């Protein structure tokens, strides 16, 4: 049974968005609801895995049997994921900010008379997945996600290679019925020498199919 293949394994899942604070009242965020990552964590726990869910700011209940660590920013998610290593598998479904303000303003940024714009200086965040991939405690299987609006296979395979992943699950964003916020999704999963299309289906169902594939690739 595919489910049994994950029993007893330690699996870290990231989910949801990150919020990058601009000042005490504003932040840069994204539309991730956490549904995809939470469904994966729930399915893995049902299969008997020891699951840690590192969650950005979302309004979802913690799945049964899952240990949840809440974070807000990309930097916090980075530290929380690394604090959970070593692990057997890391599945990165979170939509981590690629950029964060260079400085968080200590007070609310005010509109000034005569200024018709505001320039924010952003700096790159650390790439959690890419850093986990080269860490001595690298999990046996690293699964990334790729949110793409077009040219899905090219970009997803590019991320698979650049981030040194074992699997990448690509989904289309910016269309109805998949990606951010939706209850449903469709995944194109790529690995070196293979690919599999999963869905369209509810995210709960896709989580099961993705874990079947994860179990297969662990055995491969």
Residue ranges in contact with ligand PMT by CB under 6 A = 16, 32-36, 74, 92-96, 98, 125, 127-129, 144-147, 159, 171, 173, 179-181, 203
| Separation of alpha carbons 57 and 18, rounded Å | 7
| Separation of alpha carbons 109 and 201, rounded Å | 43
Distances (CA, A) of 112 to 103, 109, 115: 19, 9, 6
Of 48 and 184, the one with the shorter C-beta distance to ligand PMT is 184
Residue 81, Cβ neighbours under 10 Å: how many?
Answer: 25
From the CB of 163, what's the least distance to ligand PMT, in Å?
Answer: 6
Q: For the chain, what is the radius of gyration of the CA atoms?
A: 18
From the CB of 205, what's the least distance to ligand PMT, in Å?
Answer: 13
Of 188 and 215, the one with the shorter C-beta distance to ligand PMT is 188
Of 28 and 48, the one with the shorter C-beta distance to ligand PMT is 28
| Separation of alpha carbons 158 and 176, rounded Å | 25
Of 22 and 54, the one with the shorter C-beta distance to ligand PMT is 54
Side-chain-side CA neighbours of residue 83 (13 Å): 14
Residues whose CB is less than 8 angstroms from the CB of residue 123 and which lie 6 or more positions away in sequence, other chains included: 99, 100, 101, 102
Residues marked active site are found at 30
Of 48 and 88, the one with the shorter C-beta distance to ligand PMT is 88
From the CB of 150, what's the least distance to ligand PMT, in Å?
Answer: 13
Burial annotation 143-176 (CB, 10 A radius, 16+ → b, else e) = bbbbbbeeebeebbbebbeebebbbbbbbbbeee
From the CB of 132, what's the least distance to ligand PMT, in Å?
Answer: 8
């Amino acid at each position: 049974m595919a489910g049994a293949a994950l029993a007893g394994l330690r699996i870290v899942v990231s989910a949801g968005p990150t919020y990058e604070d601009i000042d005490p009242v504003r932040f840069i965020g994204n539309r991730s609801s956490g549904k995809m990552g939470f469904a994966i964590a729930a399915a893995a726990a049902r299969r008997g895995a020891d699951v840690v869910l590192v969650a950005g700011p979302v309004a979802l209940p913690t799945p049964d049997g899952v240990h949840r660590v809440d974070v807000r920013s990309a930097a916090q998610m980075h530290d929380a994921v690394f604090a959970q290593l070593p692990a057997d598998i890391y599945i990165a479904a979170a939509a981590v900010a690629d950029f964060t303000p260079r400085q968080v303003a200590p007070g609310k940024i005010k509109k000034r008379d005569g200024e018709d714009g505001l320039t924010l200086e952003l700096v790159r965040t650390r790439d959690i997945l890419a850093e986990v991939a080269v860490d001595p405690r690298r999990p046996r299987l690293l699964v990334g996600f790729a949110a793409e609006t077009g040219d899905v296979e090219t970009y997803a395979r590019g991320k698979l290679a650049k981030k040194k992943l074992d699997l990448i699950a690509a989904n289309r964003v910016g269309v109805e019925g998949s990606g951010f916020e939706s209850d449903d999704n469709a995944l194109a999963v790529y690995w070196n020498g293979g690919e599999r299309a999963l869905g369209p289906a509810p995210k709960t169902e896709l989580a099961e199919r993705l874990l079947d594939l994860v179990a297969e690739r662990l055995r491969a």
